[in-house]
Amino acid sequence: MKKAWYKEGVVYQIYPRSFKDSNNDGIGDLKGIIEKLDYLKELGIDIIWLSPIYESPLDDNGYDVSDYRAILKDFGTMEDFKKLVKEVHNRGMRIILDMVINHTSSEHKFFKEALSDVNSKYRDWYFFKKGKKNKLPNNWTSFFGGKAWTYNKQTDDYYLHLFAPSQPDLNWENEEVKKEFKDVLKFWLDEGVDGFRLDVINILSKREGLPNGKKRLALTGKEHYVNGPKMHQILQELNEDVFNKYDCFTVGETVLIDTKEALKYTGGDKRELDMLFSFEHTSVDTINNKWFIRKFRPYHLKKVLDKYQEALNNKGWNTLFFENHDQPRVVSRWGDTKDYYKESAKLLATILFFQQGTPFIYQGQEIAMTNADFKELDEYKDVETHNIYKLGREVFHFTHKRMMKKIKYMSRDNARTPMQWDDSKNAGFSKGTPWIRVNSNYKKINVKNNIKDKDSVYHYYKKIFALRKKYPVIVYGDYKPLFKKSRYLYAYERTLDNNSLIVISNFSKKQRKFPKLNLDDYKVILQNYKTLDNNYLKPYEARVYLKTK
């Protein structure tokens, strides 16, 4: 297998608005990130990923960009960014940016001109269409709920937005669009960034004519834009003209993808994407749509993760993640915050980060931050959350109580509460009023307490990252699932050059019998309980065994 620095590194995602506020205006910023670089280095982080920092009206917290070459004033200046890049590199780390190129903000100068002038060259940069007999141009629906078209009174037509109306989709059939965004990518690479996370990258290509889609409960029309007809051509062109000219890497957010499609993007020598985020495993507790929630069963998670490990083993490259800015906190979602908080948080880290792929952790995951404890709808700031609440109440006629239960479990704001640094006011995030309320459990769950407690989740994560750097088998070893039919036992083996690593865990609240395994010549290199019983696995117990040649 070809080796690469981005395969061996550990990525830490920062949501700048919620990470660290340096000027006490209640909003995290670039200077705040600089303050915490030594913390990240000490944790064992190699690559920092920043969620969007560009100029934006913030209808979708920065994923609606109005100027791709400017820093959002809330976060600082270009000089602050240049200093951040320099300080990251001085510490031997790297930095990647979130790049949103499926759509712009409706406040972008290109779209504003297109909106007002049918003769503008920018009209063809987006999708404008007339309605059909008082109907919308087609029946597509948005990722955020509702129709994917908004009426423009100025030109008596509609424009396409697969997300919010403030996020009009770009037309990647237009050569000038391609040139503009190649230049944007080069601009930031020349500023010293080491790569990009490419937002919803596999929906850039839309089917010609934008035909009606098969009616669905959610995302009607998806067959006409997910992995669209020219998607691979677009990515190959971006690599040839931009990425291949730099020592950088790309990770694509790919929605509604399977292993077959994943290999098309990451397999072979074409280098379309170096790795990708697939979300099948984040849907194991839902049906058809993230808002239709079902009971979580560990077996379903294991089945999906095993499938991706086996399919991409030595062919493509996986990302290892449970959390990001769009996902709930994993210990609240799949762990046990009541009786086995620390044990379940450590188990979740163990089963994931010893697999083949690049680990991605989200700010606060290393201290097992939990979901937001908001009581009222107006405490949530996320546009998707409010759109879904409205849809649930008005279209499905769900009760307020039922919708709030869904939101408390699945809202994107669960991951966006301020980072909990210590037990001082506002968790040490800011001395001002935070843009979104701090979780009230911050006096107990915070970085300061985790560092002090040698048995904390933080120190466990630190051990995992150190082990990845010490043993190549963890990074490059082949993957083999063990006890595949077990409902609660999550186990697998990694092998490389006669070295063997075995992960064994009990993903349940009950004590289970230890499985029959020949562990002669193996030593335990990580465990989440202080004492081991060779006959039983305790609730949420995880162990890692290693045999070297």
Indicate the DSSP class of residue 63. S
> How far is it, in rounded angstroms, from Cα 375 to Cα 311?
42
Question: How many CB atoms neighbour CB 79 within 10 A?
Answer: 10
Q: Which CATH superfamily is domain 476-547 in?
A: Golgi alpha-mannosidase II (2.60.40.1180)
Which segments of the chain belong to CATH 2.60.40.1180? 476-547
- Catalytic site positions: 199, 253
Per DSSP, the three-state class of 362 is strand
Q: Which segments of 117-187 are extended strands (E)?
A: 128-129, 149-152, 157-160
> How far is it, in rounded angstroms, from Cα 123 to Cα 171?
10
- Model pLDDT, residue 134: 82
> How far is it, in rounded angstroms, from Cα 444 to Cα 436?
19
Tokens 């037309």 map to which residue? 171
pLDDT in tens, the chain (549 residues): 789 999 999 999 999 999 999 999 999 999 999 999 999 999 999 999 999 999 999 999 899 999 999 999 999 999 999 999 999 999 999 999 999 999 999 999 999 999 999 999 999 999 999 998 889 999 999 998 889 999 999 999 999 999 999 999 999 999 999 999 999 999 999 999 999 999 999 999 999 999 999 999 889 999 999 999 999 999 999 999 999 999 999 999 999 999 999 999 998 777 799 999 999 999 999 998 899 999 999 999 999 999 999 999 989 999 999 999 999 999 999 999 999 999 999 999 999 999 999 999 999 999 999 999 999 999 999 999 999 999 999 999 999 999 999 999 999 999 999 999 999 999 999 999 999 999 999 999 999 999 999 999 999 999 999 999 999 999 999 999 999 999 999 999 999 999 999 999 999 999 999 999 999 999 999 999 999 999 999 999 999 999 998
Contact call for residues 100 and 52 (beta carbons, < 8 A): yes
- Model pLDDT, residue 1: 78
Indicate the DSSP class of residue 125. G
The tokens describing 428, both together, are 């040490």
- Model pLDDT, residue 267: 86
So what's the architecture of 109-160 in CATH?
Answer: Alpha-Beta Complex (3.90)
The torsion angles phi and psi of 504, rounded to 5 degrees, stand at -130, 130
Question: Taking CA 483 as the corner, what is the angle to CA 480 and CA 484, rounded to the nearest 5 degrees?
Answer: 75
Which secondary-structure segment (H or E) carries 134? Answer: none
> How far is it, in rounded angstroms, from Cα 32 to Cα 361?
19
Residue 400, class by beta-carbon neighbours within 10 Å (0-12 exposed, 13-18 middle, 19+ buried)? Answer: exposed
Q: Which among 43, 235, 200 has a CA at the least distance from the CA of 14? A: 43
The torsion angles phi and psi of 105, rounded to 5 degrees, stand at -75, 150
> Percentages helix, strand, coil for the chain, rounded to the nearest 5?
35, 20, 45
Question: How many CB atoms neighbour CB 466 within 10 A?
Answer: 12
Which secondary-structure segment (H or E) carries 504? Answer: strand 499-506
The torsion angles phi and psi of 423, rounded to 5 degrees, stand at -100, 15
Which secondary-structure segment (H or E) carries 443? Answer: none
Paired strand residues for 54 = 71
Paired strand residues for 501 = 494, 546
Indicate the DSSP class of residue 51. P
> How far is it, in rounded angstroms, from Cα 367 to Cα 135?
51
- Model pLDDT, residue 310: 96
Contact call for residues 411 and 328 (beta carbons, < 8 A): yes
Q: Which among 416, 405, 412 has a CA at the least distance from the CA of 293? A: 405
pTM equals 0.96
Which segments of the chain belong to CATH 3.90.400.10? 109-160
Q: Which among 102, 139, 143, 140 has a CA at the least distance from the CA of 291? A: 143
